[in-house]
Amino acid sequence: MSGNSELAVETLELGRRYGRVTALEGVNLRVTKGSYFVLLGPSGGGKTTLLRLIGGLVRPSAGRVRLHGRDVTDLPANERPTTMVFQSYALFPHMSVARNVGFGLALRRVAKREVRERVDRMLDLVGLTGYQERMPHELSGGQQQRVQLARSLVLDRDVLLLDEPLAALDEKLRKEMCFELKRIQEQVGITFIHVTHNQEEAMTVADRIAIIASGRLIEEGSSREIYEHPARRFTAEFIGETKIFEGTVEAADGARARVDIGIGVIEVGNRDANVRVRDAVSISIRSELLELLAPDETASAAMQSVPATYEKTIYLGLTSSHRVRLPDGAEVGVRRFSGARGTARIEPGAQVRLAWHMEDARLHTS
């Protein structure tokens, strides 16, 4: 049975067990050709296992893997159109940059002149022209990672697999390398599949993001869809800073639901979740979409609100987190630009209302 020719990667009910431990279960993934696809999730969730199954470094316990429509489940790594960039730089310390990059080509017995030309072209692509004779110990961490990237790209494979490629870099260098990876992917035009637990890293490079946790594919979408319209509670909690209310549906129609959250009854849109009366649900709201109303302010008709006690402000540089405590004891942060007006005049201990626009809340049944 042939697969979709527009897909670079397709997995069908893919699973992997290690004895009694299930590392991955029932994953159905579809990655479009030429896209930058990110597997995002907490450590130990199965992201790297999935990547290694795609690359043929691990055999599945169940399911199939297709690359460009061809079933490759039973093929070893060296017979698949994939190559991998690892978290550790894995460079040969006794070889120059040029020899490291050209190592795979030399094993294939490619002519020396062609090796030199392809190595030079790849080093130019990753911004390391002139570094051919440097040794790995003479390079910074970011430069070593660029060498490893060039070594993978020079093999001219269709799918590049990146396993936490920026984890060893400091924050500033990681951000710079994110832009570089995206630039390189767009320039070479092949498919990148990138594993990370870093949300900002994922959202910087990704065309599509798949949330992987507890060995399962939780949900998938663009960066904006995953952040602004999470379908699952796990995604809402994992991405960004979010307040989650637990509650029970009191009334519902196709457009709205009324939910008792213990400290009040609030309304929320019901088009996505389609809940029914007495359903247990959760409601998520991003911290930057929350507002604080002083005692003399009233929420507009389009807003929902609950009582709270103002506690303190935590200065975080660009933003500040204004902390309030709800009647049930839960602490909530309201994120604002540090120069924004409207909260500096509220004193600790003041009674306020935590408010938000109804369309900014997301309703979840799981």
- Domain boundary among the residues 198, 233, 268 is at 233
Q: In the chain, how many domains are there?
A: 2
Token digits of residue 136: 């790995």
pLDDT confidence of residue 343: 56
pLDDT confidence of residue 332: 96
CATH number at residue 102: 3.40.50.300
Q: What residue type is assigned to position 273 of the chain?
A: A
Helices then strands, counting H and E runs in the chain, come out as 8, 20
Q: Are residues 191 and 288 in the same domain?
A: no
Residue 49 CA to chain centroid, in angstroms? Answer: 16
Q: Is the distance from CB of 36 to CB of 42 less than 8 angstroms?
A: no
pLDDT confidence of residue 346: 81
Q: Are residues 225 and 246 in the same domain?
A: no
Token digits of residue 80: 């698949």
174 lies in a domain? yes
pLDDT confidence of residue 2: 42
Strand order in the sheet with 351-357: 291-293, 351-357, 303-315, 319-325, 331-337
- Domain boundary among the residues 211, 233, 255 is at 233
- Domain boundary among the residues 185, 207, 233 is at 233
Q: Are residues 133 and 259 in the same domain?
A: no
What is the rounded distance in angstroms from the CA atom of residue 65 to the CA atom of residue 147?
Answer: 29
Q: Are residues 221 and 246 in the same domain?
A: no
Alpha carbon separation from 57 to 12, 13, 74, 155, 224 (Å, rounded): 17, 18, 11, 17, 32
Please count the CA atoms within 13 angstroms of the CA of 176 that sit on its side-chain side.
12
Phi, psi of 170 (to 5 degrees): -70, 170
Contacts of 316 (CB under 8 A, 6+ apart): 338
pLDDT confidence of residue 341: 62
328 lies in a domain? yes
Digitized pLDDT (tens) for each residue of the chain, 366 residues in all: 344 559 999 999 999 999 999 999 999 999 999 999 999 999 999 999 999 999 999 999 999 999 999 999 999 999 999 999 987 767 899 999 999 999 999 888 999 999 999 999 999 999 999 999 999 999 988 899 899 999 999 999 999 999 998 888 888 888 988 999 999 999 999 999 999 999 999 999 999 999 999 999 999 999 999 999 999 999 999 999 999 999 999 999 988 999 999 999 999 988 878 899 999 999 999 999 999 998 778 878 789 999 999 999 999 998 999 999 999 999 999 998 887 665 557 889 999 999 999 999 999 987
Q: pLDDT, tens digit, for every residue of 326-340?
A: 999 999 999 988 876
Q: pLDDT, tens digit, for every residue of 70-123?
A: 999 999 999 999 999 987 767 899 999 999 999 999 888 999 999 999 999 999
Q: Are residues 145 and 171 in the same domain?
A: yes
Whether this prediction's pTM lies above 0.85 is answered by yes
- Nearest-CA neighbor of 214 among 58, 366, 60, 23? 23
What is the rounded distance in angstroms from the CA atom of residue 317 to the CA atom of residue 55?
Answer: 42
Q: Are residues 103 and 132 in the same domain?
A: yes
What is the rounded distance in angstroms from the CA atom of residue 328 to the CA atom of residue 274?
Answer: 27
1 lies in a domain? no
129 lies in a domain? yes
Parent domain of 49: 7-233
2 lies in a domain? no
Token digits of residue 257: 């639901």
Q: Are residues 80 and 41 in the same domain?
A: yes
Q: Are residues 189 and 253 in the same domain?
A: no
pLDDT confidence of residue 342: 55
What is the rounded distance in angstroms from the CA atom of residue 267 to the CA atom of residue 363?
Answer: 10
CATH number at residue 251: 2.40.50.100
Q: Are residues 251 and 226 in the same domain?
A: no
